[in-house]
Amino acid sequence: MKNQTLEIKAALQILKPVNEVFEAIIDPVKMSNYFISKSSGKIEEGKQIIWQFPEFDRSFPIRTGKIEENKYISFYWEMDGVELLVEMTLTPRGENSTLLTVTEKGRKNDEAGIKWLSGNTEGWANFLACLKAWLEYGINLRKGAFDFISDKILKT
């Protein structure tokens, strides 16, 4: 077990058609309503973009991977010097519902990996809940939610 690679998997059904969920993920203007504060561009296959989050005073480079419209989104980002693959799979569940599954991989099964597993599992579950709240009800759950861990607050 010690040599296994750790992987995160989170899923949630969103009561919106698959094309609306897909657009909410790839469009930075829409994404700023529930996840990021800004982006240098739209998620497009093979593109490098920069994400910023409202809680942190740093940028996060994103290298996009394969994109299949209304089906699949992948990108790579780095944490603690390790490049991680994030995959989002969109599965239609009838005409007006989408199952969104997020997988992030992978870290070594060690202390740093377990810390990542815990934090990012929580993060992806939050991403899914925030996306659902915004798409279904127009509510931004993220606003102010993480001020307690903000770089800005931690520095004071």
Q: Per residue in 19-70, pLDDT tens? A: 999 999 999 999 999 999 999 999 999 999 999 988 778 889 999 999 999 9
Q: Work out the number of other CB atoms within 10 angstroms of the CB of residue 102.
A: 23
Q: Coil, strand or helix: which one is 36?
A: coil
pTM for the whole thing? 0.89
The enclosing domain of 93 has a CATH number of 3.30.530.20
Q: What is the domain count for the chain? A: 1
> Does residue 3 surpass a pLDDT of 70?
no
What's the pLDDT score for residue 4? 87
Q: How many residues does the chain have?
A: 156
What's the pLDDT score for residue 156? 40
User: What tokens appear for 66 in the block?
Assistant: 């394969």
- Mean pLDDT lowest among 105-109, 118-122, 139-143: 139-143
Residue 150: phi, psi to the nearest 5? -60, 140
User: What whole-number distance in Å separates Cα of residue 6 and Cα of residue 72?
Assistant: 21
Please give the residue range of the domain that contains residue 29. 5-154
